[in-house]
Amino acid sequence: MNRRLAREVVRLMDLHVPFVRATVVKTVGSVPGKLGATMILRPDGTFVGTIGGAGLEEEVKAHARNALVTKKGDLWHFDLQAWKPGGLPSLCGGSVDISVEYVAARPNLLLWGGGHVAHAIAGLLPALEYDFSVADDRPEWVTAERFPDADRREAVGPSELWSVFDPSEFSHLYLLGYDAKRDLELLAISLEKFSGYIGLISSAAKRAHMFAELRRRGVSPSAIARVHAPIGLAIGAESPAEIAVAVVAEIIRSLSQTPRHTSPGRRRAEVRELSP
């Protein structure tokens, strides 16, 4: 991969958007794309780079578009021999294997409340290369000393949170506040303005009370159903450190549940009729 494509991969990852990368991983004989040639499909449908052009590239583009929709990649084998059954309409004479890799969007968390659980979660995220920001209406709880790895640290109240932050930048919102009234205020606002994962740290009593209040305010059952409470995997977590492990494990599991291909070995491309 050349530097331009490497920079594009980093840019897309930093934007927290998914993309597909197609790479020539094996060649035999004469082929248009050399080993390591790479092409990237952006989420807006545009491509950058090349794996050799012509009919081969159009086939790979089709597989890349499908991978972006299905969120799974695969390994494809192409014969560049027009005279061979199933071969592409090419006279190169060789064959090529191309990896089509779906790259999921990297998580970007917004932690509301800079208390002990938020601090514990923040301590686990850098090693996973998950980005995060933290907000609290108590300035002393969102200092650089307390959250040195945060992208942003903002002292802001619930009603101003989504004016300070762009909701489209985040994949997860965790309400970890110290005050149930403030959590409820932010939760009601976020159900309207934030479309990603919403997690609420709560006891059964707090959850029941807050959900009842949301219903009283006219919030729909489908909107309330978006709220994950309690947060994290059910591992019996009690301490802030244990809750942090449960929360991060839940994120990892959600990413690993992205469908993967299960077919063994290489897959031979099912070639459509191509125009010359």
Residue spans of the domains in the chain: they are 3-105, 108-256
**Rounded alpha-carbon distances, angstroms, from residue 36 to 63, 64, 167:** 18, 17, 37
**Rounded alpha-carbon distances, angstroms, from residue 233 to 237, 249, 254:** 9, 7, 11
pLDDT of residue 86: 52
Q: pTM to 2 decimals?
A: 0.76
pLDDT of residue 264: 34
Q: What is the CA radius of gyration of the chain?
A: 24
pLDDT of residue 93: 61
pLDDT of residue 32: 75
pLDDT of residue 29: 81
Burial class (CB in 10 A: 0-12, 13-18, 19+), 221: exposed
* DSSP-assigned letter for residue 17: -
Domain 108-256: CATH superfamily is NAD(P)-binding Rossmann-like Domain (3.40.50.720)
Q: Report the chain (276 residues): mean pLDDT per 10 consecutive residues.
A: 88 92 88 85 94 83 94 87 53 79 93 96 96 97 97 96 95 93 95 95 92 94 94 93 96 72 37 29
Query: What contacts 121, CB < 8 A, 6 or more positions away?
Result: 109, 111, 132, 174, 176, 243, 244, 247, 248
Q: 157 with 135: CB under 8 angstroms?
A: no
pLDDT of residue 276: 26
Instruction: For tokens 């934030």, name the residue.
Output: 194
- Which phi and psi angles does 135 have, rounded to 5°? -140, 145
* DSSP-assigned letter for residue 165: S
Provide the 10 A C-beta neighbour count for residue 241. Answer: 16
pLDDT of residue 64: 95
Instruction: For tokens 């109240």, name the residue.
Output: 157
